[in-house]
Every structure is written in C-alpha cells, then in structure tokens.
Amino acid sequence: MQLPPNSFKQTLQQSRLQLGLFLALGNPLSAEILATCGYDYLLIDAEHAVNDLRSIQAQLQAIAAYPIPCLVRPPHHDPALIKQLLGIGVQTLLVPMVDTAEQAAALVSAMRYPPNGIRGVGTGLERGARWNAVPDYLTQVEQHSCLIVQIESRTGLNNLEAIAAVDGVDALFIGPSDLAASLGHLGEPAHPDVLSTIDDAIARIVKTGKRAGIFCTSPALAQRYATGGASFLALGADTSVLRSAAINLLNSVRPDAAKNGASY
C-alpha cells in the first residue's frame, strides 16, 4: 500500500491558485457534501471551531472518497497534538499565531522524526500510516507533509522573512482578523491600513520564494489578494455559507425576514 500523495502541496509547488473553504461545523456529513462542490481544498478548523481529534478523523474519513485535500488548523503549537494529528492522517497543517523563526522551527521539528525532529513513532496505532500497511511510511511521510504558518500579529510581520527562511516551512498564511486587532483595528480586517499592510506582507512572502495564503472576507478582496500574488485563498467557512444561503433563500420569498430577526 502506498502513502497517498499530498495534492495540496504538489499544487502549491506549481504556484497554481487554490481556492478553499474552512470547515467549522464538526460534522462529517456536511464535510462530505462540501467535498463535492469543486473547491481545491477544505480546511478543518480546530482553533475557533468545535473540532477535536475524533471529529477531525471522522471528517477526514468522509472526505477521503473524494479527490480533494483536507488541511487542519490546530488550536496551538503543542507538539503532542501535532503528533496525534499527523497520526490520524493529516498531511497539511495550518498553525496559528507564529511570531518568530524559533516557533516555526519548533513546529517543523514536531512534524519530523528523529534525528531531524521529535515526532514519536507509533505507526502500528495510526491511521496516517494505515496501521503499518504502508511499509515505507517512516522514510516517505515527510516529503508529503506540508507546514503552513500563520502571520497574524505585528511581531509576526516584523519577523516575516526570518520565519519564511526556516527549512520546512512551505507557506505563510495571513490571518486578517487577528492582524487587524494587532494593528489597532479590532473588528476591521478591511480597514485601509490593514489592507495596505496585507498587500505588503503578501509581496514580501512572494519575494522570499515561499507561497502566500490568506482568509478572504469578500470576493473583491479575494481577487485583490490573488492579483497581489497569493497562491491559496480561503473564501469563507461552512458556517457563514450555511447562514448566508438560509437568509438568502428566506429573503427571496419574504424580503423583510432578516429585518424582523426571523432568519436568526
């Protein structure tokens, strides 16, 4: 049995634009439905959403039947949690709040086996290794692993080039909401000063030779960031898509529904 290739990483290396959607509902059925919609990737969020190891694994299993890669965002940098996520078969991690090159290097170490890292060996217990059904897993897995670090603070911006220079960091992803808060514009990710800073950050990432990604809060911003050099965009989340679709459907029949609060 062969280890499945990381199609997200392969496309990332080709600099072809990828459009994705965050999964926050924690439900394998909704995840499977969204796997049929034509996105280039899905991302299970465990930083802000109610996803844990069991719900993440269930969604990975539901999505596995479809030709779409699924990324995961853990809530923090804990190497024990990273080990478990890799163990259940996660190939690409998007790690939040990376402010320094030292933090980035520690994340790389958490994803690699000794002597290049600190990941523990337990392939007979792990879905990622297909319970030892992949004979060369230990020597092949790192070439399929992908690490994306999030830049979402003033400190992270200041250290951007040093973070990008860390071997094993494949891409940098801008978190506009937290970045806006760090810049003094809480709740205003589309503030002109924030947008200007993001444009500059994307250009700086591209200049390092690494790939840039970002969460987009509107189609217009998605176009702006793609034009500016971003290689992968998150266009929204399943929660916002569900709510917007439900409101739009109701308003198409009863236009005053949202005003009356009936859509909430």
Q: Which positions are annotated as active-site residues?
A: 48
Q: What's the rounded Cα separation, in Å, for the pair 165 and 2?
A: 31
188 CB-contact burial (10 Å; exposed 0-12 / middle 13-18 / buried 19+): middle
Q: Where are the beta strands (DSSP E) in 5-52?
A: 18-23, 41-45
Q: Where are the beta strands (DSSP E) in 1-84?
A: 18-23, 41-45, 70-73
> In this structure, what token pair is assigned to residue 163?
């973070």
Pairing of strands 41-45, 146-151: unpaired
Q: What's the rounded Cα separation, in Å, for the pair 145 and 161?
A: 22
Neighbours of 140 (CB within 10 A): 13
Q: At what angle do helices 53-63 and 79-87 cross, to 10 degrees?
A: 30
